[in-house]
Amino acid sequence: MNLSRSAFIAGAVATALVSLSPSAAAAKRPPQEKCFGISLAGHNDCAAGPGTSCAGTSKRDYQGNAWTLVPKGTCLTMPSKTSPTGHGQLSEFKEVRR
């Protein structure tokens, strides 16, 4: 590769990287998080398709090992009747009876 081509490519890469501001990249898909313990029975998320023991298979309301995708940062504010903290959690938990 000759020098002027290298310079041209470096310039184009630099321009492309600058135009990718973090906010523009984030706007493409709002960040979500898996939130455990907030799904009503049969309404847990998952896109694995038919024949999998996955989406829509939770048996009880607020099941501690079933999750729903929620906007990032909101999980810990969602009410959960089975969670020891009273709210959704970012990982599986053992349900408490109250």
Partner 1 sequence: MQASFAHALLETDLPEVDEHGRFNVYRNNLRITLRNALRTTFPAVEKLVGEDYFSALTLLYVERHPPRSPIMTEYGHDFAAFLSGFSPLSDYPYLADVARLEFARVQAYHAADTHNFRMDSEASAIAALDIRAMLHPSVTVVVSENPALSIWRAQLEPDATPLIPDATETAIIWRQDDLVTEMLAHADDALLLRHFAQSQTFAALISEFPDDPSVATLIARFINLAIAGIIVPTHTPIEGEMK
Q: Residue 10 has which token pair?
A: 């470096």
Nearer to partner 1, 5 or 97 (CB): 5
Check if the beta carbon of residue 82 is closer than 8 Å to that of residue 96: yes
DSSP H or E stretch at residue 27: helix 22-28
Subset of residues 49 to 68 that bind partner 1, contact rule: CB under 8 A: 49-52, 55
Residue 32 Cβ, how far from partner 1 at the closest point, in Å?
Answer: 7
CA-to-CA distance for 16 and 92, rounded, in angstroms? Answer: 40
**The binder of partner 1 chosen from 8, 40, 43, 71 (CB under 8 A):** 8
Main-chain phi, psi angles of 93, to 5 degrees = -140, 165
Which of the ranges 24-32, 35-43, 59-67, 70-78 carries the binding residues for partner 1, by CB under 8 A?
24-32
Is 27 a residue that touches partner 1 (CB under 8 A)? Answer: no
CA-to-CA distance for 2 and 5, rounded, in angstroms? Answer: 5
Is 48 a residue that touches partner 1 (CB under 8 A)? Answer: yes
**The binder of partner 1 chosen from 3, 19, 23, 59 (CB under 8 A):** 19
